[in-house]
Amino acid sequence: MSFNLSWQLIAASLLFFLSVKYVTGRRAKLPPGPSRLPLLGSLHKLPPSSVQKKFLEWGQEYGSDIIYVKLLRKRTIVLNTIEAARDLLDKRSAKYSDRPSMILHSDMIGQEAALVSMPYGDRFRRHRKWMYDGVGNKDKLRSYQDLQREGVNNLLRNLLNDPHEFLDHVHLYFANIMLQITYGRRVTSLQDELVQAGERSVEGANGLGGPGAQLVDLGFPLLQHIPSWFPGAQFKRDALRVREYVRIWKNLGYDLLAAEMATDTAVPCIYTSILAEFGGSPPSDVLDDVKGLPPLNVYGAGVETSRGTLSTWFLHLVRNPHMLCKAQEEIDRVIGNARLPEFGDRESLPYLNALLEETYRWSPILPNAVPHRVTVDDQYRGYDIPAGSTVIANTWAMTRDTRFYTDPEEFRPERFIVPDEKKDELLMPSSFVFGFGRRVCPGQALADPSLWLAMANIVALFDIKKAVDKAGNEITPPIVFLPGFTSQPAPFTCQVIPRSEKAAAMIAQLDV
């Protein structure tokens, strides 16, 4: 009897062992992707810039819109179509809303309060709520319309007085909006101390390379502890320098506002609302979050993205004068020239809307959006997606999808002007260039109308022409984008000239 029992026990254990081995030990069926070398994975096959193009090429080569790329120790899944991104990042957002490790851009430079790199969880939820209250809530957004209008008036005045510096004026327009809504601070110059502190930090962080793309984030987190004097630890020395910029930036805004609150002179803004939540003095465990939200999540995330988009729009208008004429003709016909375009006019200006959509599409400011991370093992279209994988929505590939956009390399706003019955077939870029699921950009409802109002008013009042060289030849600015996490056009020249004397007089009379 005991002999039988032992045998049964042994047989049962063996069966259990085999079944566990079968279930957990089978080789994962990963999506197709480039071949890998030991240790390196496919890192050596990635170009130094424009990786989004390589991701799309691999998708085409392996006949799949979802591909697997191993980068050192990091498993990466790239989604090249809107369907794959929506299926996973939107519909399964409970699993796909974490962020991969971005130690360098977060902990090492003191940006733990930056949502963009924050892990999914309670802290994330608190920041998302603050962002919603500050820039997502409809009443709040309506209350910003006056300051957006005033910002556009300033932009128009600056373009009139100093047209050569149009890119700086675009920059100031967005910097002012973000600083007004966060600190209640109206800025009229890029020399403002808060702008300077912000730009130094943002530039410093950009100089460290794309978030999540350094050794320390590709499976070697211990490198963050390497002493800064260690040979080859330049990244650590750079990180410490940027950390100091960020520290100054966060404290500067907080101190300015605290002083104003002490003298009852603070203008109501996102910061005053958050401070009020804590009776004016946040406990030490949330202080860094409170200090970090305005600079990191509004200014840092909002200015570069928005100004890059408006600068790119300028570039396309300089290169395509007939598009400016068409937009001016539409505004003259619908609004006339006795008043300036306002938010309420948007629905009646389809061509201008199409210009904005085509700008979003042609060069999405974040071509790879921001990587997500899947927290549990998952399966999709018969492929295994291992827990912990980085998941990249290749928005750039989506903008090149010929099922939706014929001749995708052509800048052609007309592609969005179709009869009503065909509208449902359109894939509007604004529906995906701001990202997906629970991590979708919280600033879209602020950025999009700010862009639109500026565009409508510039078109109504200015001609944008090619600059002319000394020999009188027109200079067509080339399409060149700077390397970096965001797609910023390289500086270019053009002429920004009031359309008429009446237009110039109108600008001179604006309230600024």
Kindly state the smallest distance separating residue 196's Cβ from ligand HEM, in Å: 20
Amino acid, single-letter form, for residue 419: P
Q: How far apart are CA 446 and CA 443, in angstroms?
A: 5
- Binding mask 99-118 toward ligand HEM (x if CB under 6 A, else -) reads ----------------xx--
Q: Which of 439, 463, 492, 503 binds ligand HEM (CB under 6 A)?
A: 439
Q: How far apart are CA 456 and CA 353, in angstroms?
A: 9
Q: How far apart are CA 331 and CA 388, in angstroms?
A: 50
For residues 36 and 128, which CB has a smaller minimum distance to ligand HEM in the complex? 128
Give residue for tokens 């997606």. 385
- SS3 helix, strand, coil % of the chain, rounded to 5? 55, 10, 35
Interface segment toward ligand HEM; rule CB under 6 A; list 46-54, 322-330, 432-440, 504-512: 432-440
Question: Does the footprint of ligand HEM cover residue 30 (CB under 6 A)?
Answer: no
Q: Which of 306, 312, 328, 399 binds ligand HEM (CB under 6 A)?
A: 306
Kindly state the smallest distance separating residue 89's Cβ from ligand HEM, in Å: 6
Question: Over the Cα atoms of the chain, what is R_g?
Answer: 26
Question: Does the footprint of ligand HEM cover residue 365 (CB under 6 A)?
Answer: yes
Question: Does the footprint of ligand HEM cover residue 80 (CB under 6 A)?
Answer: no
CA count, 13 A, side-chain hemisphere, 75:
14
Q: How many residues bind ligand HEM (CB under 6 A)?
A: 28
Q: Which of 290, 370, 391, 397 binds ligand HEM (CB under 6 A)?
A: 370
Kindly state the smallest distance separating residue 55's Cβ from ligand HEM, in Å: 16
Kindly state the smallest distance separating residue 207's Cβ from ligand HEM, in Å: 20
CA count, 13 A, side-chain hemisphere, 26:
8
Is 269 annotated as a binding-site member?
Answer: no
**Phi/psi of residue 464, each to 5°?**
-115, 115
Residue 209: how many CB atoms within 10 A of its CB? 17
Q: Which of 34, 100, 292, 442 binds ligand HEM (CB under 6 A)?
A: 442
For residues 310 and 506, which CB has a smaller minimum distance to ligand HEM in the complex? 310
Question: Does the footprint of ligand HEM cover residue 399 (CB under 6 A)?
Answer: no
Interface segment toward ligand HEM; rule CB under 6 A; list 6-14, 16-24, 26-34, 437-445: 437-445
Interface segment toward ligand HEM; rule CB under 6 A; list 103-111, 159-167, 337-345, 439-447: 439-447
**Phi/psi of residue 372, each to 5°?**
-100, 175
The kind and range of the H/E element at 393 are strand 390-393
Question: Does the footprint of ligand HEM cover residue 443 (CB under 6 A)?
Answer: yes
Question: Does the footprint of ligand HEM cover residue 84 (CB under 6 A)?
Answer: no
The 3-state secondary structure of 81-139 reads CHHHHHHHHHCCCCCCCECCCCCCCCHHHCCCCCHHHCCCCHHHHHHHHHHHHHHCCHH
Of 389, 453, 460, 397, the closest CA to residue 429 belongs to 397
The kind and range of the H/E element at 379 are strand 378-380
Question: Does the footprint of ligand HEM cover residue 75 (CB under 6 A)?
Answer: no
Do strands 74-79 and 66-71 pair parallel, antiparallel, or not at all (unpaired)?
A: antiparallel
Q: Which of 447, 464, 506, 507 binds ligand HEM (CB under 6 A)?
A: 447
Q: Which of 76, 309, 390, 488 binds ligand HEM (CB under 6 A)?
A: 309
Q: How far apart are CA 462 and CA 158, in angstroms?
A: 12
Q: Which two tokens stand for residue 75?
A: 């498993």
Question: Does the footprint of ligand HEM cover residue 275 (CB under 6 A)?
Answer: no
Q: Which two tokens stand for residue 91?
A: 């519909």
Question: Does the footprint of ligand HEM cover residue 429 (CB under 6 A)?
Answer: no
For residues 155 and 447, which CB has a smaller minimum distance to ligand HEM in the complex? 447
- Binding mask 181-220 toward ligand HEM (x if CB under 6 A, else -) reads ----------------------------------------
Q: How far apart are CA 396 and CA 322, in angstroms?
A: 26
Amino acid, single-letter form, for residue 470: K
160 within 8 A of 501, measured Cβ to Cβ: no
- Binding mask 371-390 toward ligand HEM (x if CB under 6 A, else -) reads -x------------------
Q: Which 8-state DSSP code applies to residue 490?
A: P
Give residue for tokens 């987190």. 221
Q: Annotated binding site, which residues?
A: 441
Q: Annotated binding site for heme, which residues?
A: 441
* Sites of contact with ligand HEM (CB under 6 A): 115-116, 128, 131, 135, 297-298, 301-302, 305-306, 309, 365-366, 369-370, 372, 433-436, 439-443, 446-447
